[in-house]
Structure 1
Amino acid sequence: MEVNITKALSVCKSLMKDIEKWGCLKQTGVSLRYMMEFGSAPTHKNLLISAQFLHKELPIRIARRAIELHSLPHGLSLMPPVLKVRDWYLDSFRDLISFPEIKNMDDEKEFTEMIKAIKVRHNNVVPTMALGVQQLKIISEDPDKIDEFLDRFYMSRIGIRMLIGQHVELHNPNPPPNRVGYIHTKLSPVNVARNASEDARSMCYREYGTAPDVNIYGDPDFTFPYVPAHLHLMVFELVKNSLRAVQERFMDSDKIAPPIRIIIADGIEDVTIKVSDEGGGIPRSGLSKIFTYLYSTARNSVDEYENCDLGITSNVTMAGNGYGLPICRLYARYFGGDLQVISMEGYGK
């Protein structure tokens, strides 16, 4: 028994040494433009280059997060959900560094299957971390250091899943039109807004038995290159929040609930999507808290999610998890955008 324990501790120390070594290496940024150009011709040579790059890049990114998960402030590292997430990162790091050098397409195919499994293993990271953070609320009400860590952690997760997903999708022998892996080269924000709004309204119907209308204003022929799942997530979350605010404000009123408005503008430098409502707005005292992971304007507590990938699941509630807006802002910032909230208390946003 003592021999087995000593051996396990030795393996753990050895693994931590490797993690510290890889975590000191510099990670490589990959732009949307580069992914589009590189993935436009997914030849065997390009797939091999992509796999070789991920074989070196993913351990660096995963090691950095594993190191942080060991030394979080306010005792967050000791929360059972956080320990579970840490184990997922340790397992994934171990899988990656133990995989041999990728020399041919057989190696590449085997590597691709492994990183697909890693992506699945990490599906529930966001809700699991949220459970740990919510448990921490009993211990600490100071969110600053926790927010800084979670912003880095979730942003890194977005990047890891984007890199893996892009590589895996490049294997699709029959990609949809105008697709380069995860990226849609001619994405219609009007269509995405329409689909995301319908998903949010369906959820609102399930929760309240009715749902305000959503009016969309913009050129239906306008397109731009972007990741559909990312844009859908952001619009879905914003519309969901607006629907909840309007529904709860007018549910006991004789007045008809006013519609949510989505305005899409194609600027010289930016594509802007504005979601506005008449849900009463957010008090000024609450505006500084809406992007912290320890705050929610809703009454619901964190639920356990299943099969969570980008944040939308069949089990998701209308609100109350405290990480919808912060996560959406990270998705917006991942490719250089941003998410801003301007509120008029007593009216809406």
Structure 2
Amino acid sequence: MASEPVARAVAEEVARWGGMRQTGVSLRYMMEFGARPTERNLLLAAQFLHKELSIRIARRAQDLDSLPFGLSTKPAILKVRDWYLDSFRDIRYVPEVRNRDDELAFTQMIKMIRVRHNNVVPTMALGVQQLKKDMGGTRAFPPGSDVIHQLLDRFYMSRIGIRMLIGQHIALHDPYPEPGVVGLISTRLSPMLVAQIASEDARAVCMREHGSAPDVNIYGDPNFTFPYVTPHLQLMMFELVKNSLRAVQEQYMNSDKHAPPVRIIVADGAEDVTIKISDEGGGIPRSGLSRLFTYLYSTAENSPDLDGHNGGVTMAGYGFGIPISRLYARYFGGDLQIISMEGYGTDAYLHLSRLGDSEEPLP
């Protein structure tokens, strides 16, 4: 346990840094800046991150202390808050970045921070489940619980930004980057290829859980590419295809009819790249559509475990997959819409801004 004066000193520092202004960056800026990862550029980036991460991490630690309905006191949430406080301390105690050695030491330290925060999403979900249990299940959520949703949206959006900045900086140190890749950004990402990989992963999960999986048909121009962050798109596509496969599989489980395929259509517009994921899995009642985007409901039967596909970002069972996928889309100026025909099926529209100019939406 930290002694009282130390704890107070850290709290004062957190309050001071949490009060400062955040600085957003755009996908285009990250791409242009990272295209020449010279020693000087890396030094400038590390100096920017030293300050920016202090501000963003301090703000999240403050948020975690002020969640409504006693959510801040749940063991899982306290654990996450301690991770943020530890990371804040690590960043503040590292000396100013003045030369190459400082920069390399700083990069090692943020690598450690990234690993420490790998399981934030499932651990936060556990905290929400602990709160639900105390309140006697979902039905008993008091009026005003949408505040929890807004705070978690803010928290997760900020987490995406922090991980993007850290991941981008670490990746720029790769001595042999793949051609066309700048840090985490693929300058020539093929949405068709990502759709194929995500579909194979999602079908494997469906096979494991149900013993069989519907086909996935993908339509679009196989030669079309645009700049985007591959792991972000993979995560969103995997989540949406997995949901569609599950819906179709459950709809046709006891039927003699052949399960219809899930269809993915990739369209390349002047402003947006839009990916539509269409299924005939029976759809969602209109009353249930708004629940898709809140963190307080889950559709999966069993309580989830913490192992995690995608480095601790598995979201099945938490009911977090859809709202977090929408945040990933919005992070670079896109969006996710879900339109359903109850009794027939569901269409998810993933809009990705292809201009790369929109600033990070800083909560």
TM-score normalised by length of structure 2: 0.91
* Counterpart AA for 2:218: I
2:309 and 2:336 mapped to 1: Cα distance? Answer: 26
Deviations 1:126-170 (Å, cap 9, x if unpaired)? Answer: 000000011111325143011001100000000000000000000
Equivalent residue in structure 1 for 2:66, among 63, 71, 77: 71
**Are residue 347 (structure 1) and residue 344 (structure 2) matched?**
yes
1:291 is aligned to 293
CA contact (8 A) 1:196 1:235 kept: yes
Equivalent residue in structure 2 for 1:82, among 58, 73, 77: 77
**Are residue 336 (structure 1) and residue 314 (structure 2) matched?**
no
TM-fit CA distance, 1:306: 4.8
Secondary structure of 1:42's match?
Answer: coil
Equivalent residue in structure 2 for 1:324, among 314, 321, 330: 321
TM-fit CA distance, 1:299: 1.9
**Are residue 174 (structure 1) and residue 171 (structure 2) matched?**
no
**Are residue 50 (structure 1) and residue 45 (structure 2) matched?**
yes
CA contact (8 A) 1:127 1:308 kept: no
Which runs of 5 or more residues in structure 2 are unaligned?
347-363
**Are residue 130 (structure 1) and residue 125 (structure 2) matched?**
yes
Distance 1:205 1:308, change over 3 A: closer
TM-fit CA distance, 1:297: 2.6
2:309 and 2:93 mapped to 1: Cα distance? Answer: 27
TM-fit CA distance, 1:295: 1.1
RMSD: 1.3
**Are residue 93 (structure 1) and residue 88 (structure 2) matched?**
yes
Matches within 5 A, 1:235-314: 235-306=237-308, 309=311, 311-312=313-314
CA contact (8 A) 2:119 2:313 kept: no
1:257 and 1:304 mapped to 2: Cα distance? Answer: 31
TM-fit CA distance, 1:300: 2.5
1:280 and 1:323 mapped to 2: Cα distance? Answer: 21
CA contact (8 A) 2:122 2:312 kept: no
Equivalent residue in structure 2 for 1:193, among 192, 195, 198: 195
Question: Which 4+ runs in 1 deviate beyond 6 A?
Answer: none
CA contact (8 A) 1:215 1:260 kept: yes
1:105 and 1:234 mapped to 2: Cα distance? Answer: 36
Higher strand share: 2
2:205 is aligned to 203
Secondary structure of 1:148's match?
Answer: helix
CA contact (8 A) 1:127 1:305 kept: no
1:15 is aligned to 10
TM-fit CA distance, 1:10: 1.1
Secondary structure of 1:28's match?
Answer: coil
Which runs of 5 or more residues in structure 1 are unaligned?
none
Distance 1:223 1:122, change over 3 A: same
* Counterpart AA for 2:321: G
Distance 1:306 1:217, change over 3 A: closer
1:69 and 1:309 mapped to 2: Cα distance? Answer: 23
Query: Equivalent pairs: percent with the same residue?
Result: 68
CA contact (8 A) 1:112 1:168 kept: yes
